[in-house]
Amino acid sequence: MNGAFWHAKWQRNEIGFHERQPNAFLIRHFPAMHLAAGSRIFLPLCGKSLDIHWLLARGYKVCGIELSDIAVRQLFAELDLVPRITATGRLRRFEAEGLCVFVGDFFDLSRQKLGHVDGVYDRAALIALPAPVRQRYATHLISITDAAPQLLICLDYDQACRAGPPFSVNEAEVRRHYEDRFELTCLERQDVPGGLKGACPAMEIVWKLEPRNETAR
């Protein structure tokens, strides 16, 4: 799996992963992050998520990164925003009225380009990546966000049932990626109704990640 896989998904409009309403876990648990309106929230691999609409409507500033130009242009159009587009290294930056989205490879985004963020919301980024990439992703995310607190949503299921994505990321793996830098709290576990695309039982798990040494940020 590589970037071409996701580009093809957007080109063919095969975006079943795109939820048609803001995520219920976000609505329920984002208040637990205790981030004031005006805080800057980073969404990695953000697509054109309606979660962005929800956060903007509540006074948050939102930044994200997405591989697909199609997704980002649709996002701004659906928000009725006309972005300013600038090049920054190998990335392009789309920006308008509290929203900034980089188009390109997540690993090309540096802390300097991203700027300060107050929190991270990862609904479908970690679980979109195959196992060999996930540790690199988590390490880079911590680095560019300066270990900002996270709200993380994962899936846990028998990976032998299907190849993914989305991939199964169980509690042991979450702890392996993040426990050195964060205190982890499980906020909710919920069975996926009907299982994962009817293939096997699955559970969604919501994690709150709080930096272990806040004064170091």
Cis ω for the linkage preceding 165 (within 30 of 0): yes
Q: What is the pTM of this model?
A: 0.92
Please tell me whether 123 is known to bind a ligand: yes
Please tell me whether 176 is known to bind a ligand: no
- Burial annotation 170-189 (CB, 10 A radius, 16+ → b, else e): eeebbeebbeebbeeeeeee
Q: What average pLDDT does the chain have?
A: 92
Domain 3-216 is of which CATH architecture? Answer: 3-Layer(aba) Sandwich (3.40)
DSSP calls for 165-201: SSPP--HHHHHHHHTTTEEEEEEEEEEPTTSSTTSS-
Please tell me whether 6 is known to bind a ligand: no
pLDDT at 159 over 50: yes
Question: What is the rounded distance in angstroms from the CA atom of residue 15 to the CA atom of residue 43?
Answer: 18
Question: What is the rounded distance in angstroms from the CA atom of residue 137 to the CA atom of residue 91?
Answer: 17
pLDDT of residue 100: 98
Contact between 126 and 152 (Cβ < 8 Å)? yes
Reported confidence tier of residue 216, pLDDT bands at 50, 70, 90: very low
Reported confidence tier of residue 2, pLDDT bands at 50, 70, 90: low
Please tell me whether 20 is known to bind a ligand: no
Contact between 169 and 154 (Cβ < 8 Å)? yes
pLDDT at 102 over 90: yes
